[in-house]
Amino acid sequence: MPLYQYQCYACGLQFEAIAVANEARKSKKCTSCGELAKRRVTSTSFAFTKQVKGPTPTNTGVSAIDHDFDRVIAEDAKEKWGLIVQRQNRKRELLANNPGVTGHDLQKTAEGDYRVMSKKERHHVEVQRETFKDLGGVGGKPQE
């Protein structure tokens, strides 16, 4: 029996269900909210390239599609996490090599690296932060 795709307009869920061909036109009960979901008429010949650009796609409820999205998202997350770990290590290294320096003394460079600010620069950042607070900013977001 073929698989059909259904779209629930009550909760937005898309799901697949097996149906006899002559019953496929009928609405199916949504597996999430129980409302009647309409069959989606879609092309089955969509192909995925590895890269997904733009905003993260929402859960489609269609397992075959989600599998591909999940894989791409996982690869992307792995890459980003690697960068975060790299930055953390770089910060730790800087702090270890510069006694007396704290995270507040570090400044992110345009290249995505970190460097230790001089006392003068540090003071400048502090003044900016205070000014930001005075202008009604919340807390004064520390520079990364």
- Positions touching Zn ion (CB under 5 A) are 8, 10-11, 13, 30, 32-33, 35
Q: How far is the CB of 33 from Zn ion (least distance, A)?
A: 3
Q: How far is the CB of 14 from Zn ion (least distance, A)?
A: 10
Kindly state the tokens that stand for 4.
């059909």
List, in sequence order, the alpha helices (H) in 1-144: 63-97, 119-134
Residue pair 12/60 in contact (Cβ under 8 Å)? The answer is no
Q: How far is the CB of 9 from Zn ion (least distance, A)?
A: 8
Type of residue found at 41: V
Q: Which is nearer to Zn ion, 30 or 72 (CB)?
A: 30
Q: Which is nearer to Zn ion, 32 or 60 (CB)?
A: 32
Q: Which is nearer to Zn ion, 13 or 62 (CB)?
A: 13
Q: How far is the CB of 27 from Zn ion (least distance, A)?
A: 11
Euclidean distance between CA atoms 93 and 98, whole angstroms = 9
30 CB burial (10 A radius; 0-12, 13-18, 19+):
buried
Q: Which is nearer to Zn ion, 39 or 91 (CB)?
A: 39
Q: How far is the CB of 32 from Zn ion (least distance, A)?
A: 5
Q: Which is nearer to Zn ion, 13 or 72 (CB)?
A: 13
Euclidean distance between CA atoms 28 and 107, whole angstroms = 57
Residue closest to 114 by CA, chosen among 144, 79, 138, 142: 144
